Amino acid sequence: MSGHSKWSTIKRQKGAADIKRGQTFTKIANAITIAVKMGSSGDPESNPRLRVAMDAAKAVNMPKENVNRAIDRGLGRLPGQTLEEVIYEGFGPGKVAFLVEGVTDNKLRTLQEIRNIFERGGGSMGGQGSVAYMFDRSGEIRVKGKAAEGEAHQGRGGSTEEEMLELIDLGAKDVEDYIEDNMQKYLVYTQSSELNTMGNKITQAGYGVESQELVYKPNTLVPVNDPETAKRVLDFAEKLEELDDVQKVYANFDIPDELMSSL
C-alpha cells in the first residue's frame, strides 16, 4: 500500500483520536450537505454519495437530528451560508504531491489556512492541474476477506492470492491487500462510474463491504525512505486533515512498511 491507501488506513486506525478533536461531526455534516446538493436528493438509496456520508455519520454515532439538519441544508430548506466544494494542489515535504478536497462557506479563509500549512511545512501550493495529473479519479471499496466474514470454516475462504484474483475477475482494476484488526482486508479499485455496480458484485460474491467512495488514487509515486522526511510528510498530511474545512487529503508518497511501522 502507498500514498492515499496508507494514509487513509492510518487515519482509520487512529479514528478514536479523530473523534476527540470535535471536528468529525462538522466534517460529516458538510459532506452530507454537499452530497445532497450535488445529487439533488436527500434519499441515500438514489444518491450513492449521500449514502457514503451517512454511513460515516453512523460509524461515529452522529445524532439523527444533525444528519437531518445537514440534509435539509443541502435541499435549501434552511437559511444560512452556502457551502462550496474546493480542491487545492501542491507539493509537501520530500516533493510529495498533495490533493486536498474541502467544503467551505468562505473560500478566501480556507485558501489562506491551506497556504499557511504548505508554507510552514516547507511545501508550496500550485495552480489548478499542477499535481492533479499524478492522480486518477477512481472508485475505492474497502473489503473484508471471506475468512474475516467467518466463512473460512465453511470452506469458502481462500488464500489472500486466491481472493485477490477473484476480486480482479469480478472486474476490479486493482486490488491491494492489508491487515487491520488481525483481519485480512482489501482495497479494491474500479472505474468511478462502476463503483456501485462493483460493490454489489463483491457483496454477492460473499465478501463484506466496509465502505465505498470516490477517491484520487496516485498513478505516480514518490519514494520516501528517510525517517525524518517520512515523519514530516505524515505530520504535514495530519495538519491538513485537522482543518475543519478539509474533507480528504490525498498524497503520492511511498513509505516502506517497515519504516511506516517505526514512526
Residue 152 CB coordination number (10 Å):
14
Q: What are 187's strand-pairing partners?
A: 142, 176
Residue 5 has a CB neighbour count (10 Å cut-off) of: 17
Q: Taking Cα atoms as reference points, which of 222, 187, 246, 174 lies closest to residue 3?
A: 222
Q: Is the pTM of this model over 0.75?
A: yes
Per-residue pLDDT for the chain (263 aa), expressed as one digit of tens each? 444 555 566 555 554 445 444 568 888 899 999 999 888 888 888 888 888 888 888 878 888 999 999 999 888 888 777 888 999 999 999 999 999 999 998 999 999 999 999 999 989 999 999 999 999 999 999 999 887 654 443 444 568 889 999 999 999 999 988 887 788 899 999 998 888 889 999 999 999 988 888 889 999 999 999 999 999 999 999 899 889 899 889 999 988 878 877 77
Cell numbers that stand for 153 in this block: 470454516
Strands (E), 61-173: 84-91, 97-104, 124-126, 135-144
> 10 Å Cβ neighbour count for 140?
22
For domain 135-217, the CATH superfamily is YebC, transcriptional regulation domain (3.30.70.980)
Taking the CA atoms of the chain, what radius of gyration do you get in angstroms?
19
Domain ranges of the chain: 135-217
Report the run of H or E that residue 20 belongs to, with start and end: helix 15-20
